[in-house]
A and B are shown apart, each in its own frame.
Chain A
Amino acid sequence: MTQKALAEAVGISRQTMNAIEQGEYNPTIKLCRAICRVLGKSLDELFGEEDN
């Protein structure tokens, strides 16, 4: 899935999607859940801390 398609599916701009990916913007839980729903992933899978 492209960034553009994901942004459109979630209903946000590519600028915002890019900022989230770059870690420049912390989305609200509401937006995190919307992204998870579109990608079919859980919050933990997508936004959880990575174990080292």
Chain B
Amino acid sequence: MKNKKSKNMLDEMQDTKLLKIEEFGFWLVFWVLFAAIFLQALLGTTLKELAGEIAAFLAASVYVAFSSLKNGLWTRKAAPTLKMNAITSVLPAFLFGIINAVRAFVVMKKPIDLHATLQIAAISAGVYILCFALLEVFRLIYNKRRKKLDDIEEEQER
């Protein structure tokens, strides 16, 4: 987010280096924040107490996701496919399962029975479906956007 009004005191190489430093700083904060939310959730911190961290994490996530889609970008290493989205969705479902299991059986000391286990599995399945659906919507938007941007570039070449 560049401020167009203020003059840039850096030349292009310094600017590129600063962008790389800022990029590293962003991802460092992003993953430390993720780890903090995950660990606090494991230890039984309530959603209300985690609201600030979750809001910051979501703000960064939403910004990165929508800016990437707007510019027709996915990731550097993987192309968006149905299979890839199906595999990727396993991770949040698994993490939610771990958090809920630890909170229920270790922190709250609930008895490990079939009902509680099924409840946790159902929540994980719900998270999986939600993540998969969201990634598929993103994939559709990405494909549309990619096509539009490529068509514009092709028209300009003529």
Contacts and interface: CB of A to CB of B under 8 A. Distances in A.
A31 B12 contact: yes
Contacts, number: 22
Nearest to B13: A16
A8 to B, nearest CB: 11
Nearest to B11: A12
Interface residues of A, number: 12
B14 interface: yes
A30 B11 CA distance: 12
Nearest to A12: B11
B12 A11 contact: no
B13 A11 contact: no
Contacts of B12: 12, 16, 27-28, 30-31
Interface of A: 11-13, 15-16, 19-20, 25, 27-28, 30-31
Interface of B: 11-14
